[in-house]
Amino acid sequence: MKIEIERETLLRPLQAVIGVVERRQTLPVLANVLMVADESGLSLTATDLEVELVARAEMDVQEAGQITVPARKLVDIVRNLPEGAKVRLSVEQDRAIVSAERSRFSLATLPASEFPSVEDIGETEPVLLPQGHLRELIEKTHFSMALQDVRYYLNGLLLELEPGRLRAVATDGHRLAMGELSGNVQVQNTQQVIVPRKGVQELLRLLDDTEDQVRLELSSNHIRVTLPELRFTSKLIDGRFPDYQRVIPNVEDNVVVAERETLRQALVRASILSNEKYRGVRFTLEPDTLKIQSNNPEQEQADEELSVTYPGTALEIGFNASYVLDALGAMDGEQVTIGLVDANSSCLIHDAGSRDFSYVVMPMRL
C-alpha cells in the first residue's frame, strides 16, 4: 500500500470517524482505523462494535492495499503537520510509515483481516431528507433519553417511519419529548427502531444544518445514514418502546400562553434556590397570572410573578425546573403554550404557533 495525499484531504475523513474510537478497548484492533486504498480512492473505517463510520477521500493511489493503524496517533500526527503538507503513507512489513516534508513516523499496525465489519443490513426502504431536518428532529428530542436506566429501551431515541412522516420520541419516565417531520417520506410500512445513545450523539456530531440530502435506512437490527463521503451505521436497542401516545395529556381548558424567554429567565432565577437534588418549583396559576416559587432545606425562598394569558381556573402544581427549562430551551418560537389538566397530571408544552415538537413533563409533589 502506498499513497500520497494532502494533509487537509486526509484529516477531514479521519476527524469524521475518530468519534467512535474508544480510548479503552476490549480488542486491540478497535483502537485502530482500517485504511483501504483502491482505484476509487481511500476509505477509512472505525468501529466500537456498536457504531461503524466509513469515510472516503478521492485521490490517486500509487499502490493498492489495506491495513489498520492506531487511530488517535494518526489523527494527532496529521493534525499537527504543517498546512498544505503532502502526506505520504506506505506499509513496510508490519509498520506504517507516515512522512511529510522532514517529518517521518513509524506506526505499529494490525492486519486488516482482524478488523470487524458490520453485517449486511439487508433490504430496506431508503428515505431521502435534508440533513438539517434530521438534525433538528434529533437535537430537539434527544435530551429526554434516559441515562443508564435498567429499562434499557429508554436509553435511546425512538425513530418511527410511517407514510408521509418521520417521528422521534425520547423519554426517561419523568418527561417525554416528541418531534415530527411531515412531507416526502415515501415508505409503505410503519417502522419503529430505538437508536442507542452513542449512535444519537454521533449523528448529532456528523449532521450539518444544511439542505443537503441524506439517505436514511432502517432494518430490523441497524440504522444507516449515508451522507456525502460518509456512511454511519449503528446497531439498534432490542426492546419494545412504551406506548408514548398514552402519556400525552388531552388538554382543553387550562391553557397558559406565555412569552418563552421571559418564562425561561424567571425559571432560571427561581431554580437557584430550589432543592439541589430535586430541583422542584411550584407553579401557582390564577387568571392571567403565573407565580413561580421555590425553596430549599436552608429555608431560602424565591418568588417570581409573570403576566400570562390564562383564562382557566386557579391551579397549583409542582415541576422539576430542569425538565421545563430543557423543553423551553429546545423551542424557537417567541410564545409557548403550557396545557394543564389538574395538579396531579402531566403538562403538555409546545410552541404557541406549532405542534411539530411537543414536551410532556410529569408533576412533582412539593
The C-alpha atoms of residue 214 and residue 210 are separated, in whole angstroms, by 10
CATH of 2-114, one of 3.10.150.10, 1.20.1300.10, 1.10.645.10, 3.40.50.300: 3.10.150.10
Quote the pLDDT of residue 203: 96
Is residue 74 scored above 80 in pLDDT? yes
Is residue 351's pLDDT more than 90? yes
- Placement of cell 429508554 in the chain: 154
Mean pLDDT over 232-238 rounds to 96
Helices 131-139 and 197-206, packing angle to 10 deg: 140
Interhelix angle 7-17/71-79, nearest 10 degrees: 140
Where are the alpha helices (H) located in 247-333, listed in sequence order? 260-271, 321-330
Q: Stretch 185-207: mean pLDDT, rounded?
A: 92
Cα–Cα distances in angstroms (integers) from residue 183 to residues 34, 50, 166, 168, 324, in the given order = 38, 31, 9, 15, 29
Average confidence score pLDDT of the chain: 95
Average pLDDT rounded to a whole number, residues 136-147? 97
pLDDT tens digits, one per residue of 81-121: 999 999 999 999 899 999 999 999 999 999 999 999 887 88
CATH tag for 127-245 (out of 3.30.930.10, 3.90.650.10, 2.40.30.10, 3.10.150.10): 3.10.150.10
CA dihedral for 216, 47, 115, 97, sign (positive or negative): positive
Taking CA atoms, 40 is separated from 16, 62, 64, 69, 225, in Å, by: 19, 12, 10, 21, 21
Q: Is 248-361 in the same CATH topology as 2-114? A: yes
**183 pLDDT exceeds 80?**
no
Helix (H, G, I), strand (E, B) or coil at 279: coil
pLDDT at 25: 82
Q: Domain spans of the chain?
A: 2-114, 127-245, 248-361
Predicted structure pTM score: 0.92
Domain at 248-361, CATH homologous superfamily: DNA Polymerase III, subunit A, domain 2 (3.10.150.10)
- Cell numbers found for residue 104: 517521518
Give me the pLDDT at residue 290, please.
98
